[in-house]
Structure 1
Amino acid sequence: MVVEHLGKVSVAAEDCVKVIYAAREWDDVAVTASYLKARLGVGAPAVSEMVRRLSEQGLVTHERYGPVALTEEGTALALRMLRRHRLVETYLVAELGYRWDEVHDEAEQLEHVVSDRLLDRMDERLGHPTRDPHGDPIPAADGTVRRPDAVPLSTLGVGDVGFVARISDDEPELLRYFTANEISLDQRIEVLRRRSYAGSSTLLVGAGDAASELELTDVAAAALWVTRPAAQPA
């Protein structure tokens, strides 16, 4: 996936291209120097130097005061790292009993050191999964990505139904809250009421006798992406 002439790519470079790709995977975020500074937890000079080096390696394009964008080679490297990260997360949950709110930081470390051979064995052991525990697509070894046709929960109107397809893993505490309220991948959610003045919604989580109402703030709801049920023939 990554061309041979790049040679050894630093951990910082791997993290940076992954952040750039992920910023636009689900949202239309302009990747600026300040965005990278916040996401990577480094100072402005370090970000500037990193972007300069990535540009020299042909991994990003960047015009002064403009957003940073991945080149074809940069995208290939980002997908390689996301495949590693998400397969590791999935393996930790499925095989080692980690909770979904525990795996992100572990995967951040392991993704840089796990061998391709071990990664392939993990992929085979897991049955070649196409999504990680949070619903993010796992790129195939050839870089192919199958992203679900999902929309933010906020786009649903009152009475609309969706099935959870992706849950942002940015906040472990929020993942624990979702677990406590039985919000997980593929769970049915119906919007009962919207309270724009209060910044919250009332949801019906689940179906049938097991369904329960949940009041969810707009901030929490922003972490949820859903697929709409297929239209039924008339």
Structure 2
Amino acid sequence: MSDLIDTTEMYLKCILEMVEDDVIPTRSKLVTRLGQAAPSVSQTVERMTRENLLSLDDNRQIVLSKHGMERAVSVMRKHRIAESFLFYELGFGWAQCHEEACRWEHVMGDEAEAKMLDKLEGKPNPYGNPIPGLATRASTGGVSSTEILHEYSGEVDSVSTTIHSLGEQLQVEESLLEQFDTAGVRPGQAVTLSRTDGFVRITSQAGAIDLSDDAAQHLFVTR
């Protein structure tokens, strides 16, 4: 897999993921999310700054340039189209689509992207995420499961809602996606949120899964 990864695109996509999650992009957060050494991240950010893909503001926060945002949107769009194509057209398991799409996003040409998109005929992304750059596929957005629980804390023991989407951070580990799948925690499924022994418990008709607050903040539900 490493042979197919474009480092620049990987960084741009990671920064866009943070923007989507309302997380302020910084070099330290790139270190955490990418699992790379701080000096390596700093060198890559400096190179991308010279290439006019991003800049650091007065608070040392990463800001994508117009060109950087266009490239980030392009790679994320290819990634999510690939996820959908793998799931609906090629019959990949729900838990396997993300990792394979990470390979496809760096090698997919514009013509292939367009043909795959036409073939999908408007089907939603299997993880519930919008396909960026396509106004007709825009998502109405969800709210973090931890935020919903905080809003109702002290009022009720549990909150009934519907899964909206799984953030990119929850898709990194195939084994975790398999746990979601087994528990029936997928976009469009009715669930109940509650707190149990310091964890967020998500319960569906098929089962339940417990998440830390850090993980649960990337699970989005409908309000």
Query: Which bracket does the TM-score occupy, shorter chain normalised?
Result: 0.7 to 0.9
**Gap regions ≥5 residues in structure 2:** none
Letter in 1 for 2:82: V
Letter in 1 for 2:125: D
Find the counterpart in structure 2 of residue 51 from structure 1.
Answer: 45
Alignment partner of 1:42 out of 14, 36, 52: 36
Find the counterpart in structure 2 of residue 172 from structure 1.
Answer: 174
Matched, 1:88 2:79: no
Identity %: 29
Deviation digits for residues 48-101 of structure 1 (CA, Å, limit 9, x no counterpart): 222122212221011587121212221111111100011011111111111222
More helix by share: 2
Find the counterpart in structure 1 of residue 138 from structure 2.
Answer: 146
Deviation at 1:181? 1.4
**Gap regions ≥5 residues in structure 1:** 1-9, 206-210, 229-234
Structure 1 stretch 30-39 or stretch 172-181: which is displaced more?
30-39
User: Would you say the 8 A contact 2:145–2:216 is kept in 1?
Assistant: yes
Deviation at 1:225? 0.8
Q: Which has the higher contact order (CA 8 A, sep 6+)?
A: 2
Aligned mates of 1:71, 1:224 — CA distance in 2: 28
Q: How is 1:8-47 mapped onto 2 (pairs within 5 angstroms)?
A: 11-28=6-23, 30-47=24-41
Aligned mates of 2:62, 2:137 — CA distance in 1: 22
User: Would you say the 8 A contact 2:179–2:209 is kept in 1?
Assistant: no
Normalising by structure 2, we get a TM-score of 0.80
SS in 2 for 1:225: strand
Letter in 1 for 2:195: R
Find the counterpart in structure 2 of residue 200 from structure 1.
Answer: 199
Aligned mates of 1:17, 1:69 — CA distance in 2: 11
The alignment of Structure 1 onto Structure 2 pairs a total of residues equal to 208
User: Would you say the 8 A contact 1:200–1:215 is kept in 2?
Assistant: no
SS in 2 for 1:184: coil
Find the counterpart in structure 2 of residue 136 from structure 1.
Answer: 129
Aligned mates of 2:15, 2:206 — CA distance in 1: 38
Normalising by structure 1, we get a TM-score of 0.77
Aligned mates of 1:201, 1:43 — CA distance in 2: 31
Find the counterpart in structure 1 of residue 222 from structure 2.
Answer: 227
Aligned mates of 2:97, 2:57 — CA distance in 1: 36
Q: How is 1:67-82 mapped onto 2 (pairs within 5 angstroms)?
A: 67-82=61-76
Aligned mates of 2:31, 2:209 — CA distance in 1: 34
Query: Which of the two has higher C-alpha Rg?
Result: 1
User: Would you say the 8 A contact 1:202–1:213 is kept in 2?
Assistant: no
